[in-house]
Amino acid sequence: MNDRGSAHHREADNHGSENGQRNVPAMAAMSVFAYRTWRRSMRRDPVPMHNSSLTGQMLVHEILNGHPRIIQGATIQQASYLFQHSKETTSRWFYAVLLAICSLKDEFIRPPDYTSVQPLIQEHGYKYRPWFDGCIGAIDGTHIPCVPPSENADAWINRKGFHSQNILAVCSFDMKFTYMLTGYEGSCHDARMLGEAIAFKGFPIPPP
């Protein structure tokens, strides 16, 4: 191979190496952890896997189940070099497993139920009754300064005389935001926002 061909080959290798330096996304690593946890919960007697002659999908499946220290924080290039498989094969099957993990989200990922009374109130009811009976959170509004559109700037002036966006927020008993309604002009009345929030889907309603 002549010098020109060698230089072209090195340039192609460097280009491929740069492309392979892309880090595995943090969310993908979290999904891999969730998948491994689910797999372990589905079998009573896990079998450790440290050596393998597998290829393709079975190899990546083994990596995700038996080599957590390798896959966490590694790049596609590092994983493909370690297991002597192409970056294309490693990347393709990694994302195939990732898509499988995402398909399980509705079954295994559930948001907290913010429509029930907080456990702290239920357990220590004698301390909070009758003031917090059936309480699921606190609701309040606030004004955030903003730069309004020029064609309708007056509507964004609140009762204190400056342009703002009126925001309604709901906070749980443990200081977590469970609902927020934004985008209303500063002149919008709080009662109107509350009425529209109740009409919208997703507003936390206390139990009857």
Encode 88-132 in three state secondary structure: HHHHHHHHHHHHHHHCCHHHHCCCCCCCCCCHHHHHCHHHHCCCC
Of 45, 79, 108, which residue is a domain's last? 108
Of 73, 108, 143, which residue is a domain's last? 108
Q: Both 29 and 97 in a single domain?
A: yes
List the helix and strand counts (H, then E) for the chain. Answer: 10, 3
User: What pLDDT, on a 0 to 100 scale, did the predictor assign at position 41?
Assistant: 57
Q: Both 146 and 193 in a single domain?
A: yes
Judge whether residue 22 has pLDDT over 80.
no
Q: How far apart are the first and last CA of the chain?
A: 81
Give me the mean pLDDT over the 40-56 stretch.
54
Residue 17 pLDDT class (50, 70, 90 cuts): very low
Tokens at 8, concatenated: 């072209």
Give me the mean pLDDT over the 71-90 stretch.
72
Considering the domain boundaries, does residue 114 fall inside one?
A: no
> What is each CA distance from 200 to 15, 126, 157, in whole angstroms?
51, 34, 25
Q: Both 154 and 60 in a single domain?
A: no
Considering the domain boundaries, does residue 205 fall inside one?
A: no
Considering the domain boundaries, does residue 142 fall inside one?
A: yes
Range of the domain at 188: 119-199
